[in-house]
Structure 1
Amino acid sequence: MAFVQSNPFDPNVLFCNKAASSAFPEPTNYVIDLIQPTTVMLNQISKEGIKCKKCGKKKIGCQRQFKTDPFYLKTAK
């Protein structure tokens, strides 16, 4: 999920508060794979001429991964 928000407290500027989401065919935490879709989403939801107060990317729907290798389980502390 990517999000963008302008300053909600300044009555002299337009307000923007939008979000977009995208799914990957398989889970990843590889930054290179995350940058391009995030940039596309931020370009789609941002408005020209409105200064952003906050914008970014959140990972949602992530599953915790467990190590199932017996050797790993015996040596991990």
Structure 2
Amino acid sequence: LPDGDHVDAGAAPPPEDVLATVRLGEDVQAALLELPYDFREAVVMCDVVGLTYDEIAEAVGVPVGTVRSRIHRGRKMLREKLS
């Protein structure tokens, strides 16, 4: 994000592109790639990129409640895959 103030709705890169540019453990990266796309997208945008729930909602065009749900469920799936 250029100035960190906002996100353009069409500007969010796919989670796979983000994962290719950050250093995560191989097991974490593999587990993230196994998540369904919507959950992977939300978790990566929040936990890897550092966007707020509002920024994610705007970027992907869904309500904030949907973002919260996807992040919660995505993190749960990720924990299960890593345990």
Same-fold call, TM cutoff 0.5: no
Structure with the greater relative contact order (CA < 8 A, sep ≥ 6): 1 or 2? 1
Higher strand share: 1
Higher helix share: 2
TM-score by length of 2: 0.28
TM-score by length of 1: 0.29
Q: Which has the larger radius of gyration?
A: 1
